[in-house]
Amino acid sequence: MKRRTFVAAVGSGLGPTVAGCLGNGPGAGRDPADDDGNGSDGNRTGDPGDRTDGTRTRESEDSPEGNDSDGTEGDDPDGDADGSGYAVALEDDPVETVGEFATLRVELVDPHVEPGSPAALKATLTNETEGTLAVSSGAPWPFGVLWAESEDGGESITLWNDAYEESEYVGTDGKRVEDVEDIGVGEEIGAGESITRAFEIHEDTPGLEPGSYGTSITVGIGPRDDSEDRESLESELVLAIGDGDPGSDGTDDPEEAGNGGNAGYTVALENGPVEDGGEFAALEIELVDPHVEPESPAALEATLTNTAEEAILVTSGAPAPFGVLRAESDNGDAITLWSDAYEETDHVQTDGKDLETFTNVALVSEFEPEESITRTFEIHAETSNLEAGTYESSVVLDIGFGDKGDGNKSRDPDGTENLDTELVLAIERTRDDGTEGG
């Protein structure tokens, strides 16, 4: 997407010695809220082909095979020779910081560190205002590099994001960041828009061992047209990392280390990532978290982008712009694909993470050229009728031109198109021993 990036300052490189400053704002000794964010063209989003700008989460399901930190293969310097992996717990999960302009939320979406399958945290910054905000951070935008410092005297570890390898300001070695240029970068997010990043803990992370770790995420944020009215938003995080058995991190409550041995589900988007598009708009849907566990739902993200050269009107059910998503199983039962937007509209009545009723109403949303919007749809462990099986759902949108205020969806009968995007989900139950089965 075509966000306008502004570079605030350049200083000396930062090596692993700054681990513990954690969250890396625009540079040592400088508040990221001091970055003014000037120079923006005001677009909320841009080129739909650019998928590295933070509007959507891409969580790696398979980490590349890597050498140990000393360059040898097959050794086990991190003390995990039994192959049991690790279990991660986030204190006070989810951690939510609410500011004047935005909310920063961090949650643990996968607590298990296993070969080829990292544990993952999800950080989401949401613009709570009705205007565009300028967001500044260390590189890479929007959250910088995260190191977690051992509180037990051990090494610091990198909380990995694939964007590290894509940034010209970050130097990496395997799943570890070796140096970061002292620089502040910034982009804009539109009204109501959310930016999500996944941070992973891989089994081959140098220095990884059981213990307690601390880190933080810091961003500077404020209205794009007022460089004086800005705030610094910071979330402090405490991670407990234990061996693969629940409770082995020393906590009294096994639930604090992973899922406490409870069975969950794994979700696959059989026909994903789904990319659908017409003459005026493009819709992409991808699975960003496949694991359904207590307090940690599986998640899909849907992104709609205006690819036309003028504003479009998108007609959908409530809540706009995607409506309510239900997935029907092959035995006829249906589950709710949950969105927090369901609770925010008068047209939908909910009970827990399920729908009770919803009004059959058509809502119209206007999108400027190159503008896009992303929504998250979740499958929770407590979802009614959830069981192993194959499920089908669809997103149906009507796209046209015209004036939203006059109630006309299109100027020209030939100037409309319909997007009917089908999803196929395969859900398997994960047994207490970690294996999968129906």
SS (H, E, C) 75-106: CCCCCCCCCCCEEEEECCCCEEEECCCEEEEE
The pLDDT confidence band at residue 330, using thresholds 50, 70 and 90, is confident
Establish if 21 belongs to a structural domain: yes
The average confidence (pLDDT) of the chain is 76
Do 427 and 330 have their domain in common? yes
> Which of 256, 288, 306 corresponds to the end of one domain?
256
**Which of 246, 222, 242, 247 shows the shortest CA–CA distance to 233?**
222
Establish if 295 belongs to a structural domain: yes
Do 420 and 289 have their domain in common? yes
* Cα dihedral 315, 318, 320, 324 in deg (nearest 10): -110
Q: pLDDT higher for 327 or 154?
A: 327
Question: Which region among 35-44, 133-142, 215-224, 236-245 has the lowest average model confidence (pLDDT)?
Answer: 35-44
Q: pLDDT higher for 229 or 169?
A: 169
How much is the pLDDT for 244? 66
Range of the domain at 339: 264-437
Establish if 75 belongs to a structural domain: no
Q: pLDDT higher for 326 or 47?
A: 326
Establish if 12 belongs to a structural domain: yes
**Which of 304, 326, 324, 300 shows the shortest CA–CA distance to 313?**
304
CB atoms within 10 A of CB 169: 20
Establish if 76 belongs to a structural domain: no
> Which of 221, 237, 256 corresponds to the end of one domain?
256
**Which of 160, 165, 140, 245 shows the shortest CA–CA distance to 207?**
160
**Sign, Cα dihedral of 32, 153, 93, 433:** positive
**Which of 267, 288, 289, 252 shows the shortest CA–CA distance to 89?**
252
Which secondary-structure segment (H or E) carries 163? helix 163-166
The pLDDT confidence band at residue 84, using thresholds 50, 70 and 90, is low
> Which of 227, 256, 285 corresponds to the end of one domain?
256
Number of compact structural domains in the chain: 2
In angstroms, the first-to-last Cα distance of the chain is: 40
- Our CA angle for 195, 24, 220, nearest 5°, is 55
Q: How far apart are CA 293 and CA 299, in angstroms?
A: 12
pLDDT digit string (tens) for 179-217? 999 888 999 999 989 999 999 999 999 999 999 999 999
Question: Which region among 165-179, 216-230, 254-268 has the lowest average model confidence (pLDDT)?
Answer: 254-268
Do 12 and 154 have their domain in common? yes
Do 305 and 360 have their domain in common? yes
How much is the pLDDT for 262? 45
Structure tokens at 30: 């400088």
User: Would the pTM count as exceeding 0.75?
Assistant: no
Do 249 and 268 have their domain in common? no
φ, ψ for residue 210, nearest 5 deg? -60, 145
Structure tokens at 46: 């841009």
Q: How far apart are CA 36 and CA 32, in angstroms?
A: 9
> In 3-state terms, what secondary structure has residue 226?
coil
Do 331 and 365 have their domain in common? yes
Q: Residues 6 or more apart from 164 whose CB is under 8 A from it?
A: 140, 145, 158, 170, 172, 177
Do 277 and 182 have their domain in common? no
Structure tokens at 403: 């004036």
The pLDDT confidence band at residue 64, using thresholds 50, 70 and 90, is very low
Do 226 and 269 have their domain in common? no
Do 176 and 201 have their domain in common? yes
**Which of 302, 336, 335 shows the shortest CA–CA distance to 320?**
302
Q: pLDDT higher for 50 or 161?
A: 161
Please report the beta strands in 118-193, taking only residues with DSSP state E, as ranges in sequence order.
119-127, 133-138, 146-150, 157-159, 170-173, 176-189
Question: Burial code of 403-424, b = ≥16 C-beta within 10 A, e = fewer?
Answer: eeeeeebbeeeebbbebebebe
Do 197 and 54 have their domain in common? yes
Establish if 67 belongs to a structural domain: no
pLDDT at 233 over 60: yes
Do 248 and 277 have their domain in common? no
pLDDT at 42 over 50: no
The pLDDT confidence band at residue 404, using thresholds 50, 70 and 90, is low
Q: How far apart are CA 313 and CA 415, in angstroms?
A: 11
Question: Which region among 35-49, 152-166, 306-320 has the lowest average model confidence (pLDDT)?
Answer: 35-49
Q: How far apart are CA 433 and CA 436, in angstroms?
A: 9
pLDDT at 415 over 80: no
Question: Which region among 198-207, 246-255, 361-370 has the lowest average model confidence (pLDDT)?
Answer: 246-255
In the chain, the percentage of residues whose pLDDT exceeds 70 is 71
How much is the pLDDT for 5? 38
With 0-12 CB in 10 A as exposed, 13-18 as middle and 19+ as buried, what is 236? middle
With 0-12 CB in 10 A as exposed, 13-18 as middle and 19+ as buried, what is 12? exposed
CATH of the domain at 415: 2.60.40.2360
Establish if 205 belongs to a structural domain: yes
Please report the beta strands in 244-361, taking only residues with DSSP state E, as ranges in sequence order.
264-269, 274-277, 281-289, 291-292, 298-306, 312-316, 325-329, 334-337, 348-351, 354-358
- Cβ(298)–Cβ(122) under 8 Å? no
Establish if 321 belongs to a structural domain: yes
Do 335 and 412 have their domain in common? yes
